[in-house]
Amino acid sequence: MMKKGILILVSFTIAGLVSCSDENKADGYGNFEATEIIVSAEAQGKIKYFNVREGDEIESGIQVALIDTTQLHWEKQQLLASKKTVASKSQGVFSQIDVLNEKLKIAEQEEKRVRNLFAENAATQRQVDQTEGEVQVIKEEIKNVKTRNAPIVNEIQLIDAQIGKINDLIEKSIIENPLKGTVLAGYAEPGEITGFGKPLYKIADLEFLTLRVYISETQLSDIELGQEVTVKVDSRKENMKSYPGKITWISSSAEFTPKTIQTREERANLVYAVDVKVKNDGSLKIGMPAEMWVSTEE
């Protein structure tokens, strides 16, 4: 009888420990992430200056680097000179068009006057037809002159397109920081030769970090978008440091547990990814492990 009582007591003790262990288990485990942007060169040439260092906090739109534009400048000057030369060829043509436009204006006024006289029976149909013919002749002359000038106009348009291309390359030689954030790594130095698409530096906004955790299907009913949760990380001053977080994304499809999260046996389980937005006080780092607690009760 005594042994039976001991067995019952042991059973209740084990059950209590298991229950306590389940209550102290986090609802999700994961690592902090941030949207990292690699800023690359869009032009080719020597880097004149590069004002970026790892750890720098840079505002959006700040000019941080410049690629040499000397050759582009002289190419643009050459094109502008060519355009001026080509345009001078058409000055005579434009002068002819101006003269013909004045003649057309006078002819149209005469046509209008004759039509008014014809309406009052003070002019003949022949006079009306004659004035109409003079207007049409002048219009044909203007059209012919413009046709002779078409190749010159096309050449000027081609030069304008080339100048526009040069201006675009000059603009892309000025590197502006795309977003407010912290420089994570630098890949270039002043004086180096860079090329199109070559990485210059990597930056990320660390004001808010995203904790990517993974939960089981049975936990989906306990969370929703916009829900406030508690995020905990290891700390030297205390066992766990807590941060408020908000769920911003819940995966719509299951996936196998990532290798970096669980043991080999548990990696065969299907889980759902969840993103939690956390404001960084400066101590949170990309890749740092953390826990998500749906309930704040210990």
Going by C-alpha positions, the residue among 215, 185, 210 that lies closest to residue 200 is 185
Going by C-alpha positions, the residue among 269, 277, 292 that lies closest to residue 222 is 292
**Residue with the two structure tokens 């000397």:** 70
Q: What distance in Å separates the CA atoms of residue 10 and residue 8, rounded to the nearest whole number?
A: 5
User: Between 238 and 28, whose confidence is greater?
Assistant: 28
What pTM did the predictor assign? Answer: 0.65
Q: What distance in Å separates the CA atoms of residue 202 and residue 185, rounded to the nearest whole number?
A: 5
Q: What distance in Å separates the CA atoms of residue 138 and residue 177, rounded to the nearest whole number?
A: 59
Residue range 255-270: mean pLDDT, rounded: 60
Contacts of 176 by beta carbon, 8 Å cutoff, 6+ apart: 61, 62, 63, 64
Residue 182 φ/ψ, nearest 5 degrees: -110, 135
Q: What distance in Å separates the CA atoms of residue 164 and residue 79, rounded to the nearest whole number?
A: 10
**Residue with the two structure tokens 């995203």:** 210
Residue 10 has pLDDT above 50, yes or no: no
Residue 83 has pLDDT above 80, yes or no: yes
- List alpha helices for the chain, DSSP H: 2-23, 70-89, 91-119, 125-172
**Between the ranges 24-33, 232-241, 252-261, where is the mean pLDDT highest?**
24-33
**Between the ranges 12-21, 52-61, 117-126, where is the mean pLDDT highest?**
52-61
What DSSP state is assigned to residue 101?
H
Structural tokens at position 260 = 């970096």
Structural tokens at position 169 = 């390359």
Average pLDDT, the chain: 84
Q: Over the range 62-78, which residues count as b (16 or more CB within 10 Å of their CB) and which as e?
A: eebbbbbbeebeebbee
Contacts of 203 by beta carbon, 8 Å cutoff, 6+ apart: 36, 37, 39, 58, 177, 178, 179, 181, 182, 183, 184
Residue 264 has pLDDT above 90, yes or no: no
Residue 17 has pLDDT above 50, yes or no: no
Residue 16: the pLDDT is 41
**Between the ranges 147-151, 166-170, 248-252, 271-275, where is the mean pLDDT highest?**
166-170
